[in-house]
Amino acid sequence: MRIYEIEQKYSIHNPAAIRRSLKKLGAKKIGGGMESNEIFDINGILRRKKILFRLRRYGGRRASLTVKGPRLKHRYTKRLEIEMPVDYGKAKVILKILGYGVRATYSKKREEYNLLSCTVVVDHLSRLGWFVEIEGKPKAIGRVAKLLDLPSSARESRSYLSLLYGKGWS
């Protein structure tokens, strides 16, 4: 079981060019669609500890529950991440019974690809624009970023939550 997520996000302006590059490089599209994300907490306890507790719904078909730990010092974004598939309705009821409330929400359109042992996603958030995230081992992330011609100046270290809601969100 993989328990650490290592990824790098890039802000982009031309998603069509990224899609063309992915196709040219032989990337395999493995999914896509709308995702809705609900961030849960009790009185800000998790937020103060820089822990994210998320219920994600994939276009109404399936859902996952995720816990992410604080960011670790690393060249890329590295965090403890434990994720599991859940029944959305049942999970939401359990969280409510336990006293958790929704503290933030956001939705995005996501396309997901496999390329050179990395997962590459192309995301669009209506208030923020387009992004590419590359998740994998550090050397592979760098290699894929280079192949996709993503400049280091386009790197985005902030999470979608902090971009949407400001400092203090991980």
pLDDT digits (tens, 9 = 90+) for 53-73: 999 999 877 999 999 999 999
The answer to the question of residue 101 being in a domain is: yes
Question: What value does the mean pLDDT take over residues 80-108?
Answer: 97
Q: How confident is the model at residue 166 (pLDDT cuts 50, 70, 90)?
A: confident
Rounded to an integer, what distance in angstroms lies between the CA atom of residue 88 and that of residue 1? 23
E strand or H helix at 165: helix 160-165
The answer to the question of residue 170 being in a domain is: no
CATH number for the domain that contains residue 149: 2.40.320.10
Task: Please say whether the beta carbons of 29 and 15 come within 8 A.
Answer: no
Q: How far apart are the first and last CA of the chain?
A: 23
The answer to the question of residue 69 being in a domain is: yes
pLDDT tens profile 21-36: 999 999 999 999 999 9
**Which domain range does residue 141 map to?**
4-165
Q: How confident is the model at residue 77 (pLDDT cuts 50, 70, 90)?
A: very high
* Sign for the pseudo-dihedral over CA of 103, 109, 113, 118: negative
Task: Please say whether the beta carbons of 71 and 50 come within 8 A.
Answer: yes
* Per-residue pLDDT at 97 exceeds 90: yes
Rounded to an integer, what distance in angstroms lies between the CA atom of residue 148 and that of residue 20? 10
* Per-residue pLDDT at 43 exceeds 80: yes
Task: Please say whether the beta carbons of 63 and 56 come within 8 A.
Answer: yes
How many structural domains are present in the chain?
Answer: 1
Q: Is the pTM of this model over 0.95?
A: no
List Cα–Cα distances, 72 to 6, 33, 86, 93, 132, in angstroms. Answer: 10, 30, 27, 32, 21
pLDDT tens profile 106-144: 999 999 999 999 999 999 999 999 999 999 999 999 999
* Per-residue pLDDT at 1 exceeds 70: no
